[in-house]
Amino acid sequence: MLNAAMSQYFQIHPVTPQARLIQRTVELIRGGAVIAYPTDTTYALGCRIGEKSALERIRRIRQLDERHNFTLACRDLSDIATYAKVDNRNYRLLKAYTPGPYTFILPATREVPRMLQHPKRKTIGIRVPEHPITQAILAELGEPLMTTTLILPGEELPLNDPEEIRARLEKVIDLVIDGGTAGLEPSTVVDMAGEVPQVIRAGQGDPAPFEQA
């Protein structure tokens, strides 16, 4: 576990991310860091898959119980197939709506650590964020990032200002990425683990295609 006595703060360009800072970010993630980073919807907390101590820190920050559906931020569809079971119908929908502001709940494969899966349903959330910083991190990392919206206990809206994130979380996370102000509306969550897609949460992504699927 890294020493999170004072988080680092990287100002990364939201359109053309600096390669040096992306590389340093990935070094920190591989070393067990918890990071705050911008996505195409809101700011999120992230850590490496299977990094148990980092995951537990995120659970404490957000006060999440074991029933929380964690999400993997993936670079593209090929990542999704490694970590989630996708039939032909769902593949067509995923291909049409990724990257974008959606989280898809799918049956997890054995590649997903049990601590990330929903304990009863054995599902995992999957995201392909359309944000240059996120995409650059995922490309350099070479694997998905365990992620969850940066919304603090008792609050209705996620934190979206990197300066405020640093002020409030600098002693409990390792890195804040300043990629400018993000949105306040989280992704639309679509449960695709059943017979038909079910919209669990309407957010930034248009839910209509999945209500008609």
pLDDT tens digits along 134-143 = 999 999 999 9
Task: Please say if the pLDDT value at position 83 is more than 80.
Answer: yes
DSSP for residue 160: -
Percent of the chain at pLDDT exceeding 70: 97
Is pLDDT of 45 > 80? yes
- Asked whether the predicted pLDDT for residue 1 surpasses 80, the reply is no
Domains and CATH numbers, the chain: 8-211 (3.90.870.10)
* Cα distance between residue 112 and residue 102, in whole Å: 20
pLDDT of residue 50: 86
Q: If you average pLDDT over residues 141-154, what whole number do you get?
A: 95
Alpha-carbon dihedral sign for residues 45, 136, 124, 3: negative
Task: Look at 6 and 193; give whichever has higher pLDDT.
Answer: 193
At 213, the pLDDT band (50, 70, 90 cuts) reads low
Residue 149: in which H helix or E strand, if any?
Answer: strand 145-149
Q: What is the pTM of this model?
A: 0.93
Categorise residue 176: left if φ over 0, alpha if ψ from -120 to 50, beta otherwise: beta
Tens-place pLDDT, residues 165-192: 999 999 999 999 999 998 999 999 999 9
